[in-house]
Amino acid sequence: MSRDVKIVLAVPDLKLREILLYLLKAWEYNVMELPEEEDVIEYLKKENPNLIIIDATLHGKKGLEICKEIKGDFLTSYIPTIVLIDKKQLRRDLLSIEQGVDDYLIKPPDPIDLEIRIVLALRSAAHHFNANALTRLPGNKLIERELIQRLDSGNHFSFHYIDIDNFKSYNDKYGYIRGNHVIIDTARIISKNVKVCGNGKDFVGHIGGDDFVIITTPDKAEPIAKQTIRDFDAMVPGRYSNPDLENGFIVARERSGRIANIPLMSLSIAIVNNTLDNVSNLLELMDVTTELKNYLKALPGSNFMVNRRVIDNGIKNRKDKKYKTEKRQSI
């Protein structure tokens, strides 16, 4: 439904912007005009639009550079980008367009062409990018593709599997709206710490529900995990009523159906380094991750663990694997 589609309009020319506003509203899109002097990337992160229409001359003819920044940030790369450009600039900057945008139209765009391009861009984004509807982070297909590319490259990386402990009980008692807020804020915490503590080419994904992933380098793995746990644990108290907070648990029904005292939410972060585990394919990676995650889920509070398991004599058989060292961190 077009009314549910948010489109950001980043067009400095007043006359052109008025025409586009009229057309987009006539097509019943939810249109937001980029505030003057607003940082485009930060605005997109805040608003989470479905598409952006941007003028190539935005901010002193830096529109194409901004498009590259949009595609270079994992928090905005999924947003379809349609750039409006004149013919002379198109000839001069064709390579930049190919690298930074999903589609382009010559100014002023023909209304029929514009409508078709918007529909195709939105359809393509939904099909290819598979962003999570709640957090807008890359979903399962993109996560799998990213992992396969990292494994095939042979480069060293760290894979984080992040799970919110006791989230289901919280969601059942406090309702899905508050539960969704926890998921969204957890996604923001993870994304912020990857940006602050990690590398420019790190990856954050949302598997679904209360499960997230990070792909970074081994040297950044523990700093990201530590700060993420600190921030999450600082957020949690504000999500509970005073009586539940004072008790340190909520009375809720377990998965088995039994009424029990369920601890407050916490984080379990299983970290697998392919440098230490000799992980060579996706199945091995998930096997090690699942084993770590199951161990962490049985521990109280928020914890992360970096797997140190090695393979004896080069035999990649589960029975021949053992833990060389284990590292547990509770913040």
In the chain, the amino acid numbered 116 is: I
Q: Report the alpha-carbon distance of residue 134 to residue 138 in Å, rounded.
A: 11
What pLDDT is recorded for position 65? 83
- Write down the mean pLDDT value for the chain: 84
Q: What is the pLDDT of residues 179-213, one digit of tens each?
A: 999 999 999 999 999 999 999 889 999 998 999 99
Full set of structural domains in the chain with CATH: 2-128 (3.40.50.2300), 140-330 (3.30.70.270)
Q: What is the pLDDT of residues 74-84, one digit of tens each?
A: 778 778 899 99
313 pLDDT more than 60: no
Give me the phi and psi of 236, to 5 degrees please: -55, -45
What pLDDT is recorded for position 92? 62
Q: Report the alpha-carbon distance of residue 252 to residue 118 in Å, rounded.
A: 46
User: Backbone dihedral region of 301: left (phi > 0), alpha (psi from -120 to 50 degrees) or beta?
Assistant: left
| Confidence band, pLDDT 50/70/90 cuts, at residue 174 | very high
316 pLDDT more than 80: no
What pLDDT is recorded for position 93? 61
What pLDDT is recorded for position 98? 56
| Confidence band, pLDDT 50/70/90 cuts, at residue 130 | low
| pTM reported for the whole predicted model | 0.63
127 contacts: CB under 8 Å, gap ≥ 6 = none
23 pLDDT more than 80: yes
